[in-house]
Amino acid sequence: MSARRALLASLLVPLAACGGGSPTGPGPSPSPGTQSVTVVVFYDENGNGTLDPAEGARVPDVEVSLGGRSARSAVGTGRAVIDGVAAGSVIPTINTATLPPFYTVGRMPTVQVPTTGEVAIPLVLPIGSNRPNTYMAFGDSITEGNNYPGDPSYRGPLASKLQQHFARATVLNEGVGSTKSNQGALRIDGPLNADRPAYTLILYGTNDWGQSECKRPDQLATTCFTIASLRDIILSAKGSSSLPVLATIPAVNVGYDFRAPQQREDWVEAVNVQVRDLAREQGALLADVEKAMLADRDPSRLFVDHIHPNAEGEEIISTAFFQAIAHGARTGAAFTGEVMDLDAPMARPVPQVLSRPSLRSRRR
């Protein structure tokens, strides 16, 4: 080696030792002792803290943290990959603001990092011995369906949305055509006892306007039975440990015929102010169906007649229910009360109803 080359080599050695080199080279290596941990956020139906083979429901969009690192669970699978978790023993934590309404954290496991398997993160619901992942749609002909050929009502698209989001969902039909809310209050206990639903979806009141007691907005404070009946239905659901989801009364196809005058829509608007208040009062989720329908560029296109929605209208109704169930207060559209312990004993106030005619005398 020439003297000149030897001198150049001796100058380069200290530069390399001080970290010199190409700026496009590989970045720093991961910190030793860290790894990626996969978690699965699931609905723990029996509350034992273990992901059992039959427990197929998953809870998406929940933020899970391990050792100061966090990630959100995915739709359908409930999986989240948390990178850069330091080695050691750690208990996962949940950002409770990201939980869907009514869900709480179950028996959290202790995780030993590094780990080779997925970590199951349990969430629970206060539904007592009711049937998990079961939603009872309770209402009149809008719930029942069959208002046009092949009509699944809003239940069809809602079931699809819930299944895609939570991986498990069954929506039951407890709609009875032509019934009014006070008739719903009289019959609610039968379906609750037979179906034992985790959730009760309440869409009632459309037919109330046809009664003399409920023709005008000012009657809401005197003779009209709508709010008292809806309150009674909610109390029955809560008394059966079923989670209540209350919908506003759908909008009316104003001007379609003599059955849909502007006065009817005015009544719907007035009663829905009280429906929203009732949801807050009772800690129920609110599916604001009326608001969603009126937000359409042309609400008249959402109907097959004066009150019954077509497929587009049912899609809007199903979305309102889905948003309430899956996101609640995070969308600003639904859950506004405290999450209640529905298994605790509760006093049931006397409904404020002036009179409650029998089913036979009220049927048209």
Closest among 166, 168, 184, 185 to 176, alpha carbons compared? 184
Spacing of C-alpha 27 from chain mean position = 44
C-beta separation of 221 from 227 below 8 A: no
CATH code of the domain made up of 34-124? 2.60.40.10
Mean per-residue pLDDT for 129-145?
98
Quick check: 6 pLDDT over 60? Answer: no
Bridge partners, 244 (sequence order)? 200
| Residue in the structure block whose two tokens are 């429901």 | 57
Name the band, by pLDDT with cuts 50, 70 and 90, for residue 210: confident
Mean per-residue pLDDT for 241-250?
98
Quick check: 335 pLDDT over 50? Answer: no
C-beta separation of 334 from 159 below 8 A: no
Residues 6 or more apart in contact with residue 196 via CB below 8 angstroms? 129, 130, 131, 134, 240, 242
Q: Which pLDDT value is given to residue 363?
A: 30
pLDDT digits (tens, 9 = 90+) for 22-62: 333 443 444 557 899 999 999 999 999 999 999 999 999 99
pLDDT digits (tens, 9 = 90+) for 271-321: 999 999 999 999 999 999 999 999 999 999 999 999 999 999 999 999 999
Q: Which pLDDT value is given to residue 334?
A: 38
Specify the length of the chain in residues.
Answer: 364
Q: Which pLDDT value is given to residue 331?
A: 35
Name the band, by pLDDT with cuts 50, 70 and 90, for residue 15: very low
Burial class (CB in 10 A: 0-12, 13-18, 19+), 136: buried
Name the band, by pLDDT with cuts 50, 70 and 90, for residue 10: very low
Mean per-residue pLDDT for 207-211?
95
Residues 6 or more apart in contact with residue 39 via CB below 8 angstroms? 64, 66, 71, 73, 79, 80, 81, 82, 92, 118, 119, 120, 121
Domain boundaries, the chain: 34-124, 131-362
Lowest model confidence (mean pLDDT) among 163-167, 185-189, 195-199, 335-339: 335-339
Q: Could you tell me the pTM of the whole model?
A: 0.83
Please work out, in degrees rounded to the nearest 5, the angle formed at the alpha carbon of residue 295 by the alpha carbons of 289 and 301: 85
Q: Which pLDDT value is given to residue 357?
A: 36
Q: Which fold has domain 131-362?
A: Rossmann fold (3.40.50)
Q: Which stretch of DSSP H or E encloses residue 333?
A: none
Q: Report which of residues 27 and 193 the model is more confident about.
A: 193
Mean per-residue pLDDT for 240-263?
98
Q: Which pLDDT value is given to residue 32?
A: 59
pLDDT digits (tens, 9 = 90+) for 90-122: 999 999 999 999 999 999 999 999 998 999 999
